[in-house]
Structure 1
C-alpha cells in the first residue's frame, strides 16, 4: 500500500536519495528544502519550502499542506560545525541546536495529529556522534545526543497512539557532509570505505514496511572497514 512520507533535507545527498527510492516504490513524497530550486529534479507529490533555522515558521508552513493523515516523517536535514570548543562561536551553537533539535521537535509536534491518525512512523536520522563524541564534535554531537533524547521521549509518549519512533545512526557514508568533515579535519577520504547513500536510504525506507507487530527502536549502520578520521601526519 502506498504511503505518504515527508522527507526533510530532500534537495541533496541522502534526502534526495530517500525521495527517489520512496517514489520508485510507489510512495508519495512530501519533499522539504530551504528553496524551491533545491527540489529541481527531486520526485515529490508535494513540497515544504522552509528554512529550519526559523522554527517559528514551521506551524504555518505545515498548515498549508492540509494534511489529515501522514504515514511517516524522516528527519534527515542537519548541519555540522567542526571545531574545538574554544573556536565554536555562540552563533554556531545556536544555529546547530535550532536546525538539528528544535526544528525536528517543532515539526514533529505540528505533524502529530496526522501521524496519530495514520498510526505513522517517525524516523530520526541521527549519527555516530549521537552515541559518542570526540574532539571538534562538541556542538554537533550535543545536538545529536539531544535528538536521541527527543526520540526516546516521543517513543514512550506515542506508543499508546500507535506511532512508531526509530533513531538511525549511520556512520561514515558517502555524502558531501562527510567529505566536508574530513576536509575540516585535514583527514583522508576514501569513498570505497564508506557506505553508499543508496544503502542507507534503502535501510531507512524499509523501516516503513516492517510488520505491524514490531518496531525497530534504534538502528546502527557502519561500513565494514571504515576509514578513521585522523589528521594527515
Structure 2
C-alpha cells in the first residue's frame, strides 16, 4: 500500500503502544503519514517510540483501567486534532496470565477483563463521538485464542472471545454512520507478552496451594516448554501492523484479520473438525 496523502487528515489513537504490536503499528502508521497518538504507561516508552521513527508520534500517558486518565487523554487528542478530527482508534492494550483454571486466583481473571475488555470498551466509548464525526474506523486487537483457546489460558481466551462478540455487535450498531469495525486475530507474535505472561505465570504458581503442583505438574511443565519454543516460531509484530494498516486505510476493510499461519489454520479447523478431535490435536501439540 502506498503512503497516505499528506493533504488528507489522518489521526489515530493507539492503546498499548509501548512495545510489541502497538509499537509496530505506531511506527508503521506514522511512516505512512498518520499522526499517531501513542498510548504508553511511562514517559520513557514514548521517547523510545519517537527515537528514529518517521512521521508524527505524539505519546500520551494512558492506562486503560484509569477512567479519569482516558477522559483526559481524549480531551487532549480532541484539542490537538481540532477540526481534522480523529479517523481511527486501535484498541491494542492487553495482558495475558496463564494457569490452571481450578486454582487461578479470581483476581487474575478480573485483572485481564479490566484491561482487555473493560478498558477497551471505556476507550471506545470515549472516542466514539470523534470517530462518528469523521466517519472513522475502530480496530480491536483480539487473538486466535478468542476462537480456539489453549489449556491454561482460559482467562486470556475468555477476554479475547468477548472481543469477538463485541466486534460483531458493534459493527452492526455503528453501520448507520458508516463506521467500520475490524477485529485483528493474531497467532503467535514475537512480542514481550510471552516473557511477561511466563513470568506472571511463575509467580501465580508459586502462590498456589500444594494441590496445584500435585495435580498439574506434568501439563504445566509441558506448557512451560511450549512457551519457551513459541518465540522461535512466532512472526514479527510488523505482520500485525500491516493488517491494522489495511483495516484503517482500505476502502472495504475486512471484518476479521487472522494473522499468522497458526491463526489462519485455526480459524479453518475450528469450523470443520469436531471438538474432541481438536482437543486431541492440541494435547498432542502441547505434549499433554
| Structure with greater Cα Rg | 2
Q: 8 Å contact 1:55–1:102 — kept in the other structure?
A: no
Q: Which residue of 2 aligns with 1:31?
A: 38
Aligned structure 1 segments of 4 or more residues deviating by more than 6 angstroms: none
Give the aligned length: 230
What is the TM-score normalised by the length of structure 2?
A: 0.73
Structure 1: how far apart are the matches of 2:67 and 2:109? 15
Q: Which residue of 1 aligns with 2:188?
A: 172
**Paired residue for 1:54, among 35, 51, 66?**
66
Q: 8 Å contact 2:15–2:62 — kept in the other structure?
A: no
Moved more, 11-20 or 193-202: 193-202
5+ long unaligned stretches in structure 1: none
Q: 8 Å contact 2:246–2:253 — kept in the other structure?
A: no
Within 5 A, what are the aligned runs for 1:102-117? 102-117=118-133
**Would you say 1:216 and 2:223 are equivalent positions?**
no
Moved more, 118-127 or 38-47: 38-47
5+ long unaligned stretches in structure 2: 51-55, 202-222, 266-281
Q: 8 Å contact 1:72–1:208 — kept in the other structure?
A: yes
TM-superposition CA deviations, 1:192-224 (whole Å, max 9, x none) = 53221122212221222212xx23111111237
Structure number with higher helix proportion:
2
Q: 8 Å contact 2:64–2:123 — kept in the other structure?
A: no
Q: Which residue of 1 aligns with 2:247?
A: 207
Tell me how large the CA RMSD over aligned residues is. Answer: 2.4
**Paired residue for 1:63, among 75, 87, 92?**
75
Shift of 1:180: 4.9
SS in 2 for 1:87: coil
TM-superposition CA deviations, 1:177-202 (whole Å, max 9, x none) = 13555675312425453221122212
Shift of 1:80: 0.7
Relative distance call for 1:168 and 1:218 in structure 2 (3 A) is: same
Q: Which residue of 1 aligns with 2:16?
A: 9
Structure 2: how far apart are the matches of 1:64 and 1:26? 20
Q: 8 Å contact 2:95–2:197 — kept in the other structure?
A: no
